[in-house]
Chain A
Amino acid sequence: MKDMSVFALFSTLGALLAIALGVMFPALAMGRAISRALDALARQPEAEKSILRALFIGLAMVESLAIYVLVIVLIVLFRNPLLAYLLK
């Protein structure tokens, strides 16, 4: 049973650490992208449509990185494939 508690402890810690890092860096990237887009918007307000479209696509790209982390974390927490070896 000791194995089990160590396993639970480390997978929880790993998941928390992963989601913390995986949210932090995309947040920085999104902030940079938005600030640059606002710069461009202030300089060229007439190009608003194309700037915003590129911004949305870029934000979706960056955001999907955080989503990958979330999916991995959920797999580790709820459907950990390594658990089968431990229970055997």
Chain B
Amino acid sequence: MEQSQVIFRIGALLVTSTVAMTWGIMAILVLACWFGTRQLKQSPDRWQSALEGVVLTMQQAIEDIAPGKSPSLLPFIGSLWIYLVFANLAGLVPGLHSPTGQLSVTSGLAILVFLATHWFGIRASGWLPYLRHYVQPSPILLPFNIISEISRTLALAVRLFGNIMSLEMAALLVLLVAGLLVPVPLLMLHVVEALVQAYIFGVLALVYIAGGLEAHATDRADGDSPP
């Protein structure tokens, strides 16, 4: 719940520790990928095969949920996954805080997912068929469809923020009442929870986007759009 403190300013722009952390993670990821892909070889060395393993696993996971869509979805969903894993785990490093423990960061990511849903949906089926799926079973459901769009974006943001923030806060509270080394089991839980939440965020984004993609393909009689 605490505000992140301002580290330095560029003109009128305040750079908080959250933004600095995000930039740091981005720099690390970009450098790692750049060095890993600078000289690709037929017979990959260790670093290249590790990166290939990561990409192939993500591609397979996307292929399982949205068959045939992985080439277009992999850049977005994969970036979300990789960034979130690093951002969630960054809170374990002493002195650093997870950027995803701030509601503004997770809201930004959720808004990206919200926009991407419509972007991919409209690109796949065109304006009119895409917009028509909001009135699909019957026009009475239009308000509910719109509410579900908004509430699931909100839920996406609050879920990630709440999990990461509460984990850090729980460790802090246990440290306060119990003392040194007692929060270690909680920190182990933090590792598991960070990975699970990163996975969940990516999978939910994928499910929403896949729902928008197949909006034109079928009249989805089951009408499932989880809140």
Contact = CB atoms under 8 A, between A and B. Distances in A.
B158 A78 contact: no
Interface of A: 49-50, 53, 56-57, 60-61, 63-64, 67-68, 70-71, 74-75, 78-79
Interface string B59-73: 000001100000000
A22 to B, nearest CB: 12
Contact of A64 (B64, B159, B169): B159
A57 B203 contact: yes
B12 to A, nearest CB: 27
Contacts of B226: 57, 61
A41 B86 CA distance: 32
Chain B contact residues: helix, strand, loop or mixed: helix
B204 interface: yes
Given A49-B64, A53-B64, A78-B1, A67 B200 contact: no
A68 B162 contact: yes
Contacts of A50: 64
A63 B196 CA distance: 12
B37 interface: no
B207 interface: yes
Contacts of B200: 56-57, 60
Given A67-B163, A67-B166, A70-B166, A56 B155 contact: no
Contacts of B169: 74
Interface in B44-74: 64-65
Interface in B101-123: none
- 5 pairs of A and B residues whose beta carbons are closest in the complex: A67-B162, A64-B159, A60-B200, A71-B162, A70-B166
Contacts of B158: 64, 67-68, 71
Given A64-B155, A70-B162, A79-B1, A57 B64 contact: no
Contacts of B155: 61, 64
Contacts of A70: 162, 166
A74 B1 contact: yes
Contacts of B207: 57
Contacts of A49: 64
A50 B204 CA distance: 14
Interface in B134-182: 155, 158-159, 161-163, 166, 169
